[in-house]
Structure 1
């Protein structure tokens, strides 16, 4: 059969990539055009495009193009097309209309006119006509209107070509398969795969990028899984030509699978990993790619010597909810790339190019495209030091600062002067230097001076009434002046966003640098980490509570619940406790606590570290042991896959305290603390006990500007008040 002119439709901005692909497939005169690309060839070339194109949505075989004098000419124009050469009376068809026609306000009008024309032509020729089947027709007819021009085509693809056949209906996915393939092609994956490189998607969702990467690397035709294409119901269909193409594709698949490299997909959601494994199996690739449930901070190359491509489509806000959350996510992703994937290439799809700046990498290429209706950018990177950029803005000269930034700089200097002598006298390396002193700059700034000087900055989430752009501008001003005012290198300033934590967010690592620094507090030594978690490992607002525990611990059996990194246990042990028991759900924090104990020379069987859900552990200890001094500092809200149910401290504190009091010896003391700003202790629910509010006595000097951050009570069984409560406030503070 003579050559035909074909049209391949593509997602927006991918016409040039599609034309390049068609040229590689051997299509003659493949050229980008509006909405896709055109190429010429035999019918077999149209089949080849359906089978092998990773980018196209549809392959159309144009039949006619007419200029209309008005909508009433649609039917007459359709009557002139020899539909009997393409469709038999006993077969079915469906019509799709795209574009716009002058005088046509609804596409159904044009579709109805063409349907009637086809029916009339077949009735005249055969006395019967084919039926319409909109769901599963034998032949699909495509109409495209542009002003007064109407194009008639046969849709050789049938269902959209992005539907490869491995993803089942019902699985939501952020990327269509052909868009995922386009991202991989733009990112240079074919060349990387040919050189034996690896592919990793650290937020793989339902696995589309990894599976498409496998199809590309193994030279597998993306349409090989499909059972049917549009041309199968076409009466001119050349089945022999189609079978030759299938045989060739199967041979190439067999050869390609033998050279498939390492492909890995990670996601924090176990349901996503289950979907990925299911889709991998349906793609005929079971066991040939690795999917695993991991947090972002745990992602790493399969082997230390591996290199290749990291490609990721981070959430656009639906899963995290706010631009500030996304900013932190991008910062964590950038840190991961710089620390774990040096020498790799990376590609990040983003709907907000400003977020890309938080990666700390300079993009080497940027491509525009659309993910459905959302305009996006594909940022491509070479993960090499010459492309690294600081996450902090350059400091502005004093003359260029806004009045607010100048006030912030002056306040930091003033606070530093006011606290310096006190800090040096008390032997404290870490202090809260600033806590939203100026409402416009809603930050908490902590200074750490151990082996080196570090600054830990926490941005409080702005209320909805604050303009986000204004808040971001002020944050940039603050981050620009902090290194200069506090004389700290930019790389030793760390930013976190502070907001109420829900679900598993409070457990999630931000990174996994494992970089620890030693600091001192009242003669005790602790390890802090500024990068891996939201908090550093040392709650500064508990400093005086820890000191009080140390003063009360001599000769006591001490229990530390929700112990975090065990800092209170260190104080108790150094204060002379005969035994300590430290309980926390997190193995990571218990290991950290063990290092803190060892750092202070605390060892031996009398100091136990127990990994357990604290609430269940308390219940399991009823009648088995008692303690003289207990520190209970639960999180405000908590849940975990290892935890039974959820913990809401405002809702649950009475029940938790009542259970814990069953482990307390008569005459013993339970110190209960939390930092929920709006917390209200239910004194009526705790009526059987003696409750003393010591929040004011245990409020550290550097937190006096914001006392809502600290709540603390001593709770005892009924009896005479302990003698230490008769001391003055100053004595309690310095006990």
Structure 2
């Protein structure tokens, strides 16, 4: 007999090797499958044991099919009562086209007519069409005017093993997962008792397939029906012998498995699905599933060799590419830091993302995930590495010589500025080092003549010039600003290129969201154990409010196991601290898509998935009014002083509107919950009526660190709890 085993594009070599191992006759690789020969036992064995094939077709007739009439006559040359009962059910899978048949539905209709007409003429009865569970599935392929007629012995696609009733987002088919494992040499690794780990395991397909391989379990053993089950020429005795053999091999194989199987994911719900799938596959006792963020990925204790294999999101159906850059970067850092001696494998539909891992791939295979061109990249992890604390994302010209600090003759005023900067640097520098703080405010208009704020970000300085009063001479103001820029490289020891200057004005409406430049320069800093992207050039604000540091750390300490809400969230660094502290969930609400996308990058950079961390682009007042129920344990709200953004339905004035904002937020708190309300309006007064409704505590002083002690009106901060 002649058979054709089909498979997804790109897996033909894997299927060929597999069929050779199954001892079929004369396997021949071709596009989308492999031809082979043998008796029914060979076909049955492929149906039962192939981990890569989709279908096994028994080709038994060829004939002309250029026209509809020719196709009809070719189908009628087969005696169909040899294959099905007169009143049985059938379905037709038709592919290809010719001059007279240009639509697969029309071709399938002609094939069906030929079969039904023949059986009705002979018996007076007629079979019916059944798409889901037909007695006979017929496959007709039309190419170059010739029709190849075959019976589909597999029935439902062989990738459907029967254990996966549910899947996560963007699921991987079981036969693709098996092919990836073959490409990574997993069967040999399992024989050496090496471990396997999937840090973003989703519904567990890769790990379940890995166990089936390691335990010598036939992938088709769980299926109840095949395409040959109701075929009249089905040889039940041959099939039962194969089933008995497979069951014996499964029992023996499960006893011999020594490898360690671990699957992590940030989504508890999808992990429950993975456990259910493993249970149906009969391998739940062998796989350890655990909810764990990527940031906590580590090598299993005592495992010197193994395989880390995963299928991260890559932007086609999940997430967006800018955020995913940092997810892949984080994955690469974790692999280099803790998996030396292991092999890593990443399957992705966006190979460019793998460059962020900074691992040289040893092998690359071009494959398809459905219709999506994809790659499997395999890495031998040879060295450990410690991620850098500060990194400029945009690569600069390394060949350029660092600029020499400009030496200028200082005026009396400039010399006073130098003295003040040196004094602050001595005091705050020691404090920042003791507190492990890399970003802090060095100077904030300490000398009225030099009205700037100077913030340190690692080895960069961010200088914001306050708008001078109209009474100040413009030339004098400009001269003083030049002096600030001139002395900073000497005081700080930074190249002039690493000092960024902006003019700060009172922001109104949407101007707070407008870009100042187009350089898209991001830099990574650390604060409170979090990795945070700041942008010193592109926006007026950098993406990190330094004065919020104590509140961020307070929330990080209080957030464990709690549902956290961040209103007017900006780049959501407060939410990031809550996630770092072990929050059960975080929700960040802001009008700006730009800042929410920035927030997503921060979370991805820290290995926190969006399954438990939600970002909502909405007017906070409108969103608050639409909410019902007590859904949060801890809320942080930091509204702007004033906003008339076009996305808002009304003008926001924090002094006028704060009572309504607080009441709406307090309505979302569970019993025992807490609202932390902050704003930077210097003349803000909390409405006394709030003290009558809630327990209110002014924590402004405690929420201001040493670098802002000189300017304690930088913000006001209150804790509010229910009185009941």
Scaled by the length of structure 2, what TM-score is found? 0.64
Ranked by relative contact order (alpha carbons within 8 Å, sequence separation 6 or more), the top structure is: 2
Q: Does the 8 A contact of 2:196 with 2:260 survive in 1? A: yes
Q: Does the 8 A contact of 1:639 with 1:646 survive in 2? A: no
Q: Does the 8 A contact of 1:78 with 1:117 survive in 2? A: yes
1:424 equivalent in structure 2? 425
1:713 equivalent in structure 2? 716
- TM-fit CA distance, 1:322: 2.1
Q: Helix, strand or coil for the counterpart of 1:292?
A: strand
Paired residue total = 546
**Match for residue 350 of structure 2 among 349, 352, 373:** 352
**Match for residue 34 of structure 1 among 31, 34, 57:** 31
Task: Describe how 1:325-344 pairs up with structure 2 within 5 A.
Answer: 325-344=323-342
Q: Helix, strand or coil for the counterpart of 2:344?
A: strand
> Alpha carbons of 1:411 and 1:123: their partners in 2 closer, same or farther (altered >3 Å)?
farther
Q: Deviations over 1:111-152 (max 9, x none)?
A: 111111111222233332322222211110011223423221
2:207 equivalent in structure 1? 210
2:376 equivalent in structure 1? 378
Q: Does the 8 A contact of 2:636 with 2:677 survive in 1? A: no
User: Does 2:238 align with 1:250?
Assistant: no
Q: Deviations over 1:455-512 (max 9, x none)?
A: 9999xxxx9999xxx98xx56xx68xxxxxxxxxxxxxx737xxxxxxxxxxxxxxxx
**Match for residue 360 of structure 2 among 359, 362, 366:** 362
1:155 equivalent in structure 2? 152
- Matches of 2:499 and 2:246, distance apart in 1: 56
- Matches of 2:499 and 2:103, distance apart in 1: 57
User: Does 2:624 align with 1:649?
Assistant: no
- Matches of 1:712 and 1:214, distance apart in 2: 57
Task: Describe how 1:552-591 pairs up with structure 2 within 5 A.
Answer: 563-564=553-554, 584-586=558-560
Q: Does the 8 A contact of 2:6 with 2:33 survive in 1? A: yes
Q: Helix, strand or coil for the counterpart of 2:375?
A: strand
User: Does 2:42 align with 1:56?
Assistant: no
Q: Does the 8 A contact of 1:11 with 1:370 survive in 2? A: yes
Task: Describe how 1:229-268 pairs up with structure 2 within 5 A.
Answer: 229-260=226-257, 261-268=259-266
Task: Describe how 1:510-525 pairs up with structure 2 within 5 A.
Answer: none
Q: Helix, strand or coil for the counterpart of 1:385?
A: coil
Instruction: Give the stretch that moved more between structures: 197-206 or 116-125.
Output: 116-125
- TM-fit CA distance, 1:188: 1.3
1:83 equivalent in structure 2? 80
- TM-fit CA distance, 1:264: 1.0
- Matches of 1:646 and 1:279, distance apart in 2: 35
1:124 equivalent in structure 2? 121
User: Does 2:405 align with 1:396?
Assistant: no
Task: Describe how 1:106-185 pairs up with structure 2 within 5 A.
Answer: 106-168=103-165, 174-185=171-182
User: Does 2:435 align with 1:447?
Assistant: no
- Matches of 2:231 and 2:134, distance apart in 1: 11
Q: Helix, strand or coil for the counterpart of 1:141?
A: strand
> Alpha carbons of 1:543 and 1:33: their partners in 2 closer, same or farther (altered >3 Å)?
closer
- Matches of 1:172 and 1:195, distance apart in 2: 33
- Matches of 1:119 and 1:47, distance apart in 2: 28
> Alpha carbons of 1:656 and 1:681: their partners in 2 closer, same or farther (altered >3 Å)?
farther
> Alpha carbons of 1:284 and 1:122: their partners in 2 closer, same or farther (altered >3 Å)?
same
- Matches of 1:75 and 1:638, distance apart in 2: 54
- TM-fit CA distance, 1:584: 2.1
> Alpha carbons of 1:422 and 1:68: their partners in 2 closer, same or farther (altered >3 Å)?
farther
Scaled by the length of structure 1, what TM-score is found? 0.63
Q: Does the 8 A contact of 2:201 with 2:310 survive in 1? A: yes
Q: Deviations over 1:1-20 (max 9, x none)?
A: xxx11101101111111111
Q: Helix, strand or coil for the counterpart of 1:358?
A: helix
Please, what is the CA RMSD of the aligned residues? Answer: 5.1
Task: Describe how 1:619-698 pairs up with structure 2 within 5 A.
Answer: 644=632, 647=635, 649=637, 654=659, 673=678, 685=687
> Alpha carbons of 1:39 and 1:649: their partners in 2 closer, same or farther (altered >3 Å)?
same
- Matches of 1:638 and 1:230, distance apart in 2: 39
Runs of at least 5 residues in structure 1 that lack an aligned partner in the other structure? 435-442, 480-493, 497-527, 547-559, 567-582, 589-610, 615-636, 662-669, 718-735
Q: Deviations over 1:66-118 (max 9, x none)?
A: 34332332111111122222222132211111233333332121111111111
1:726 equivalent in structure 2? none
Q: Deviations over 1:353-393 (max 9, x none)?
A: 11101112111001111111211111101111299999978
1:621 equivalent in structure 2? none
- TM-fit CA distance, 1:155: 0.1
Q: Deviations over 1:228-250 (max 9, x none)?
A: 11011111111111111111111
> Alpha carbons of 1:186 and 1:341: their partners in 2 closer, same or farther (altered >3 Å)?
same
Q: Helix, strand or coil for the counterpart of 2:177?
A: helix
Q: Does the 8 A contact of 2:98 with 2:143 survive in 1? A: yes
Instruction: Give the stretch that moved more between structures: 76-85 or 650-659.
Output: 650-659
Instruction: Give the stretch that moved more between structures: 161-170 or 185-194.
Output: 161-170
